Chain A
Amino acid sequence: MKPARKQRLMLIVLMLIGAGFAAGFALKSFNENLMYFFSTTDVVEGKAPENALFRLGGMVVKGSVERPGDGLTVHFKLTDFSKEVPVEYTGILPDLFREGQGIVAHGRLNAQGIFVAEEVLAKHDENYMPPEVAGSLKTGMNQATGQE
């Protein structure tokens, strides 16, 4: 390769490395802010902000969804398979909301340690399959007893 070209190539490689490092450090320092939600363990351990709005993500615990009264209020528990947090929400739930489904709720903790959500979003998982496959998978899973 001719020296001039080699020099230009080196310059470009150096530029890429520099940009990579800059981006890496920037993302590292913003890491907390880039997390879209807190896990339930974070909340139980007190890492989530008090008296402030934040997002809480987790799986809806099977059998925990209750509707006291005829209103739109719904109670359920969220888990990350280690700690659970009770959630209260009044409003319309998205299509994918169901027990065992991952969701992200936006709201704040009240004095009783209940997360009062103002907005509930469903988090879709990356699995796509026909209903019959899902059915057979579920029966197989129940026999093996495990989650996910």
Chain B
Amino acid sequence: MFLIPDPIVRFFHRMASPPHFYALTERLMPWLVVIFLLLLAAGLYGGLYLAPPDYQQGDSYRIIYIHVPSAWMSLFIYVVMAVAGGIGLVWRIKLAEIVAVSSAPVGAGFTFIALVTGSLWGKPMWGTWWVWDARLTSELILLFLYLGVIGLYGAIDDKRTASKAVAILALVGVVNIPIIHYSVEWWNTLHQGPTVTKMDKPSIHVSMLIPLLLMALAFKFYYLIAMLQRARIELLSRERNAYWVKSMISLGAER
């Protein structure tokens, strides 16, 4: 890989070493939690208290501070999962496999939240809980893809084989991601078009946009925390016979 500078390659090689990953994430975790809580507090205060009500929807629009970041995360985590799965397939890096399978439950959670909050908002605003338009349907398929990944991983006993199967499923499912994103532009849907991510000026007032972006960032950190915690547990259970795990446990017992 001649395109990637040397220090980055070295960083990834170090990160791919289980003991190093375990120790580093342990030291990072408190910082991640602090940053997450600060962002969440700022985002919620800004979104629920400081931001003005909408000209049409009044205060009901405030559900976007949960709905939109969750929906973004559901797509983002899926891409991370597929890329990590792909790296695991090609380079056979154990940690990449672990990151992929640890991402699935977090992503499924965010997808579920996006669907539920959207439904709660849809009833008063659209007049219906659910419609089978392209955006809602493709997002539901995303939830099933996540559940499929979780189920497939659980169904195969040998975890290295399971990781490969899961990576292939995740990679094939990636076609759904652009479909979800562009569904509101390619077809007539009940769901409105993109507000923030369209290339010209976002059609949301700055006072409402800043808390939204803060919440999106907070959710990113929540994902990091939840995914890394799952990855650490998964790593310990896979490496339970490795020397570094045994020595760590015996050290802990002596203390």
Q: Which of A's residues lie within 8 Å of B, judged by CB?
A: 1, 5, 8-9, 12, 15-16, 19-20, 22-23, 27, 31, 34-37, 39, 57, 93-96, 104, 119-135
User: CB distance B133 to A122 under 8 Å?
Assistant: no
Residue contact B125 to A128, C-beta cutoff 8 Å: no
Tell me, in angstroms, the Cα distance from A132 to B52 when the chains sit together.
10
Cβ–Cβ contact A36 & B55, under 8 A: no
Q: Which residues of A contact B161 (CB under 8 A)?
A: none
- 22 A–B contacts from the bound complex (CB under 8 Å): A5-B91, A19-B171, A23-B176, A23-B179, A27-B186, A36-B133, A39-B188, A96-B126, A119-B128, A121-B126, A121-B127, A121-B128, A121-B131, A124-B57, A124-B192, A126-B203, A127-B195, A127-B203, A128-B61, A129-B55, A129-B205, A130-B54
Q: Is the Cβ of A123 less than 8 Å from the Cβ of B190?
A: yes
Tell me whether chain A's interface is mostly helix, strand or loop, or mixed.
mixed
In the complex, which residues of chain B have a beta carbon less than 8 angstroms from the beta carbon of A15?
168, 171-172
**With known contacts A1-B1, A34-B134, A129–B86 Cβ distance under 8 A:** no
In contact, B126 and A122 (Cβ under 8 angstroms): yes
Shortest CB-to-CB span from B253 to chain A, Å, is 40
Inter-chain contact A123/B205, CB cutoff 8 Å:
no
Residues of A within 8 A of B91 (CB): 5
Task: List 8 extra interface pairs beyond A12-B86, A19-B174, A134-B55, CB under 8 A.
Answer: A31-B187, A94-B125, A123-B192, A129-B208, A130-B54, A131-B54, A132-B52, A133-B55
Question: In the complex, which of the residues B86, B133, B172, B190 has the most CB atoms of chain A within 10 Å of its own CB atom?
Answer: B190
What chain B residues lie within 8 Å of A120 (beta carbons)? 127
Query: Are B54 and A129 in contact, with the CB atoms below 8 A?
Result: yes
Instruction: Check if B89 sits within 8 Å of A12, measured CB to CB.
Output: yes
Query: For window 168-210 of chain B, which residues contact chain A by CB distance below 8 Å?
Result: 168, 171-172, 174-176, 179, 186-190, 192-195, 198, 203-205, 207-208
Chain B residues with Cβ below 8 Å from A27 are: 179, 186
- Complex-state Cα separation, A57 to B167, whole angstroms: 41
* C-alpha spacing A16/B195, complex, angstroms: 29
Chain B residue contacts of A126, Cβ below 8 A? 192-195, 198, 203
At the interface, yes or no: B124 with Cβ under 8 Å from chain A?
A: yes
Contact, CB under 8 Å: A128 / B208: yes
B187 close to A122 (CB less than 8 A):
no
A128 to chain B, nearest CB (A): 4
* B56, B176, B190, B208: the one within 8 Å of A121 (CB): B190
Q: How far is the CA of A19 from the CA of B193 in the complex (A)?
A: 26
- Known contacts A34-B134, A128-B195, A96 near B125 by CB under 8 Å: yes
Say whether B213 faces chain A, with CB atoms less than 8 Å apart.
no
Contacts of A39 in B (CB 8 A): 188
Q: Which residues of A contact B56 (CB under 8 A)?
A: 96, 124, 134
Determine whether B64 belongs to the interface, using a CB cutoff of 8 Å to chain A: yes
With the chains together, A95 CA to B89 CA distance in Å? 50
CA distance A134 to B203 in the complex (A): 12
Contacting residue for B125 out of A34, A95, A129, CB 8 A: A95
B183 to chain A, nearest CB (A): 8
Question: Which residues from chain B contact A131 at a C-beta distance below 8 Å?
Answer: 52-55
Q: Is B248 part of the binding interface, using a Cβ–Cβ cutoff of 8 Å?
A: no
Question: Which of B126, B127, B204 has the most C-beta atoms of chain A within 10 angstroms of its own C-beta?
Answer: B127
B90 at the interface (CB under 8 A from A): yes
